Structure 1
């Protein structure tokens, strides 16, 4: 006897479909792919949005919130972050030609990737959203550690084996702490072939309404392309970071802006 509940099966089908989509999708694409009636597909998609499992962007496309297995408060926070970030991430991917990744810091100091917009170039940087990376030698991880409480960041450096992933990896704890100071001063983290040879990562902070750093916005670039246009890419990334922060309610005061120009 078939005991499958039709509505439950459909919501799972929709979750699995969205999980396999590299880009946000329109309702008509969901209908075409899954064969649901339009009204049912819309109701199911809106249920996912209302419960924080997915977001609907400004062009009414749907995208799944990564790691939606976590508790509701986390889902809601990540959904708001993704809703603000995703259109800017797509714009940055298109103007820079490079891969864009959004990540947050876990309670243990690791980076958790929430979303990516992959470069359309033939040779490009890509990353598994569920994959692991070392915070001490990646642009995103270092930026999030640099904006963490000093005691917690030091505890992370003491706990994690600082292994040289490439000949360029910085593994001395004091040198890494010096990099944290530089990251906070310059507003950007750069890891040039420290995690993967041939790949350069850049990351900037995303600020919440209260000014705290709630996420990192990353550009993953083929190293040869980075060195050919490093200043341009950093400027693009910083601008995108400011736009996302503003969409989250962050406002930088006039004095801070003047100091950054000086």
Structure 2
């Protein structure tokens, strides 16, 4: 299992501003996200890049707090970890403002709609709406995907000036997710800049086989992009042209309806 990379590894703030034990505990919690199965102490320690004894103490502390359970050999997360996610969602102003707009959008279009934010090189979906007639499956809240090959990700990356965007793409691991994933960094830069000019991004089968999606930026009152909303469908059901014709105006209307409320 690969070692977990920390976003803040290059942070040069003073040691007095950093609680290493807390960072290690959070690192262990994050490791569970890379596995759908319970994990051994050795696997967790290796993935979190921690000594086995340190990982053991952290896991036993998390067990006592109710975040982790073990049978003596394997460790697994407990539902209590959802408190952390629900606290974020409940306190997130963008989610509270956008959710009614997403619900309206999804009901009118009779399609699933989602909202995502940028987290490092990934996008994280933090809100979702689905018409009642559609079974709620697939991408859900908390789901992560690489930003470079998703429509929401390209919309969010487009907020960067050209130089910063080129530098960000240069540092990304552009591992293809499908045979259609674009991994040429110069082409990606050109595509994202063009998407910025158009005000939307349409990605066709690059992130998931047989699936295309279209996204627009969500801007706060001063024009800053704070999130992206999208709608998607299987390629056999909705064409790219239909997405632009039917979905794009609704997405733009939903984003515009909340701009004055986002601070």
- How would you bin the TM-score normalised by the shorter chain? 0.5 to 0.7
Is the Cα contact below 8 Å between 2:121 and 2:146 reproduced in 1?
no
Partner of 1:175: 187
Deviation at 1:138, TM superposition (A): 0.4
* Aligned counterpart in structure 1 of residue 109 of structure 2, from 86, 92, 96: 96
* Aligned counterpart in structure 2 of residue 67 of structure 1, from 85, 98, 104: 85
1:115-194 matches, within 5 Å, as 115-122=127-134, 126-194=138-206
C-alpha separation in 2, matches of 1:120 and 1:86 = 15
Deviation at 1:102, TM superposition (A): 1.1
Classify 1:91/1:75 alpha carbon distance in 2 versus 1 (closer, same or farther; 3 Å).
closer
C-alpha separation in 2, matches of 1:140 and 1:109 = 12
Question: How big is each residue's C-alpha offset from its partner over 1:32-70, in whole Å with a ceiling of 9 and x where there is no partner?
Answer: xxxxxxxxxxxxxxxxxxxxxxxxxxxxxxxx9983456
Deviation at 1:239, TM superposition (A): 1.2
C-alpha separation in 2, matches of 1:86 and 1:75 = 11
Determine helix, strand or coil for the equivalent of 1:130.
Answer: coil
Is the Cα contact below 8 Å between 1:125 and 1:220 reproduced in 2?
no
Please, which runs of 5 or more residues in structure 1 have no aligned partner?
1-63, 250-262
Determine helix, strand or coil for the equivalent of 1:218.
Answer: strand
C-alpha separation in 2, matches of 1:186 and 1:67 = 34
> Quick check: 240-249 or 141-150, which moved more?
240-249
Classify 1:121/1:159 alpha carbon distance in 2 versus 1 (closer, same or farther; 3 Å).
farther
* Aligned counterpart in structure 1 of residue 255 of structure 2, from 227, 235, 241: 241
C-alpha separation in 2, matches of 1:242 and 1:235 = 10
C-alpha separation in 2, matches of 1:200 and 1:65 = 33
Partner of 1:11: none
Deviation at 1:191, TM superposition (A): 0.5
1:1-262 matches, within 5 Å, as 67-68=85-86, 76=91, 78=92, 80-106=93-119, 108-122=120-134, 126-227=138-239, 229-230=242-243, 231-248=245-262
How many residues were matched structurally? 180
Please, which runs of 5 or more residues in structure 2 have no aligned partner?
1-81
> Quick check: 167-176 or 118-127, which moved more?
118-127
Structural RMSD (CA):
2.6
Structure 1 runs, 4 residues or longer, greater than 4 Å off: 121-125
Question: How big is each residue's C-alpha offset from its partner over 1:162-217, in whole Å with a ceiling of 9 and x where there is no partner?
Answer: 12222221111111111111111111111111111121111101111221111111
C-alpha separation in 2, matches of 1:138 and 1:218 = 10
C-alpha separation in 2, matches of 1:208 and 1:113 = 18
Question: How big is each residue's C-alpha offset from its partner over 1:192-245, in whole Å with a ceiling of 9 and x where there is no partner?
Answer: 111111211111011112211111111122223331722111111111111122
Determine helix, strand or coil for the equivalent of 1:67.
Answer: helix
Classify 1:247/1:193 alpha carbon distance in 2 versus 1 (closer, same or farther; 3 Å).
same
